[in-house]
Amino acid sequence: MPKAKPAKGTPRPASGPVTLLVGTRKGVFLMKSDRARKSWALAGPHFLGNIVNHLVLDPRDGRTLLCAVRAGHLGPTVFRSTDFGRTWKEAERPPAFPKAAPGEKGLAVEHVFWLTPGHSSEPGAWYAGVSPPGLFRSDDGGVTWEGVAGFNANPMRIVWIGGEQEQGPPGGATLHSINVDPRDPRHLYIGISAGGAFESSDRGETWRPLNQGVAADFLPVKDPEYGHDVHCMRLHPLAPDRLYQQNHCGIYRLDRPAERWDRIGNAMPKAIGDIGFPLVLHPRDPDMLWVFPMDGGTVWPRVSPGGKPAAYVSRDGGRTWRRQDEGLPAKQGWFTVKRQAMCADARDPVGVYFGTTSGEVWMSASEGDRWTPIARHLPEIYSVEAAGG
Amino acid sequence: MNVLIPSQLRDYTGGRAHVEARGATLAALLADLERRFPGIRFRMIDEQDAIRRHIKIFVNQQQARDLGAALATNDEVVIVGALSGG
């Protein structure tokens, strides 16, 4: 396997306190550490009772937060804070599909599911992935949003996603894993569950499937061009030709300009398998990544295999994997870690974090070698992002 | 006319449960509410002008199914958030 070559110098590790941005089924919580990452102060909830799919910091200014919100009764929207969560304002024009012509059936956004800051050269640019699968862009820091017509109005969209579905998350189709190439703001990757991975070289005007080598065991077609179920796809910011993907059918790596994904999950223990939701990258080492396997057998329980939760780490781009379960329940641990609910900070050693469907936040200050619970009794956790550090 | 705002939407009305609004149709009434309380309409009505699944709107105790419903000056409009489960 070729070693991924960083495109530019590796940044120095961060050294300050870390703030975790925790999105849950019932609102937002913020967890701030001390410098040693030993004690954590829990603040919140904000937006109590609202479903928060994703809460993301703008790395370009270090203070703007965008929050993808809906309530059980109410439609989806985006809230934004320009003072790191002290005050919030709703987007003036949240993501919404165009009104259909009379007599035609139009799309309606069910959830804003995923948020990604735009390229560093485009201050104020953001992307949002929604369900039913759609891509939106803001150029004013999330105040107003426009659909990316090259995807949303693409005549192939309905084919790629296999027809419209009634539901949004957690059971329905959604667009997520929006990755912007740090070398080129026009170069984008997205993941759709289900639909597959797609690439654009023109800021979203045109798209093409990028799924060669990825299994889609649930489809009747052998080696389909699209229709795959991407769970989480990440591009390494220091080696942007390297992509990793946790899929419904395995863990994969792709080194561009190659087109064919390599199933690095084949090196996982057979008893554990290579199914899961999240995939986390080391911020400075493109060959190091973490996954959190789940049970994808029988009726897809989607909990830790055997009730024994563990992360798995690879330090060689997925050639080999090592189990990391010290500190985690040795038995009867039946939670799920969702695709946005695992992350890493920028410290040395890197802190790794995950939130569970049972409302716990766990952290490791030793790159996964030992885990400690830092919050319990929260609502079901949908997203965890690390800021600062 | 008098409009009863459900608790789920009172962040938009400054906490008020009852507001006055005007319009000859439900669509016009909602436009008036949106003008005065920006953002409130999209939380109730989707971009295809459908009333969201867990919002019910009653005009004089009769459920309105679409935004074309005609309104008179003294009508009473009640907006309800209706959702079961946890």
Residues belonging to chain A: 389
Q: Indicate the burial class of A330 (C-beta count within 10 angstroms; 0-12, 13-18, 19 or more).
A: exposed
Please report the sign of the dihedral spanned by the C-alpha atoms of residue B51, residue B56, residue B61, residue B63: positive
A45-A51-A55 Cα angle (round to 5): 70
Question: Is it the case that residue A286 has pLDDT exceeding 90?
Answer: yes
- Flag if B39 and A90 touch (Cβ within 8 Å): yes
Picking from A294, A286, A275, the residue whose alpha carbon sits closest to that of residue A230 is: A275
- Flag if A77 and B42 touch (Cβ within 8 Å): yes
Residue A222 has a pLDDT of 87
DSSP-H helix ranges across A146-206: 149-152, 157-160
DSSP annotation of A42 reads E
- A-chain CB neighbours of B9 within 8 Å are 74
The string of pLDDT tens digits covering residues A129-162 is 999 999 999 999 999 999 999 999 999 999 999 8
Question: Is it the case that residue A6 has pLDDT exceeding 60?
Answer: no
Query: Which SS3 state, helix, strand or coil, does residue A307 take?
Result: helix
- Flag if A74 and B43 touch (Cβ within 8 Å): yes
What mean pLDDT comes out for the span B16-34?
96
In this structure, which amino acid lies at residue A39? S
Residue A388 has a pLDDT of 83
The string of pLDDT tens digits covering residues A321-335 is 999 999 999 999 999
Domain parsing of chain B, residue ranges: 2-81
- Flag if B43 and A77 touch (Cβ within 8 Å): yes
CATH of domain B2-81: 3.10.20.30
Question: CA A312 to CA A55: how far, in whole Å?
Answer: 25
Q: CB-based contact (8 Å) between B61 and chain A?
A: no
Residue A81 has a pLDDT of 96
Q: CB-based contact (8 Å) between A106 and chain B?
A: yes
Q: What is the dihedral of CA A140, A142, A145, A147, to 10 degrees?
A: 100
What mean pLDDT comes out for the span A280-305?
94
Q: How many CB pairs under 8 A join A and B?
A: 55
In this structure, which amino acid lies at residue B55? I
Which two structure tokens, joined as six digits, stand for A141? 């820091």
Q: What are phi and psi of B42, to 5 degrees?
A: -70, -20
Q: CB-based contact (8 Å) between A98 and chain B?
A: yes
Out of A73, A77, A94, name the one closest to residue B81 (CB).
Answer: A73
Question: Is it the case that residue A171 has pLDDT exceeding 70?
Answer: no
The string of pLDDT tens digits covering residues A31-73 is 999 999 999 999 999 999 999 999 999 999 999 999 999 998 9
- Flag if A75 and B52 touch (Cβ within 8 Å): yes
Out of B6, B46, B85, name the one closest to residue A75 (CB).
Answer: B46
For an interface test with B, give the residue of A24, A46, A74, A111 to mutate (most B CBs within 10 A): A74
For an interface test with A, give the residue of B12, B35, B48 to mutate (most A CBs within 10 A): B48
Place of tokens 């946890």: B86
- Flag if A74 and B9 touch (Cβ within 8 Å): yes
Range with lowest mean pLDDT among A136-150, A212-226, A342-356 = A212-226
Rounded to two decimals, the pTM is: 0.95
Place of tokens 């005065």: B36
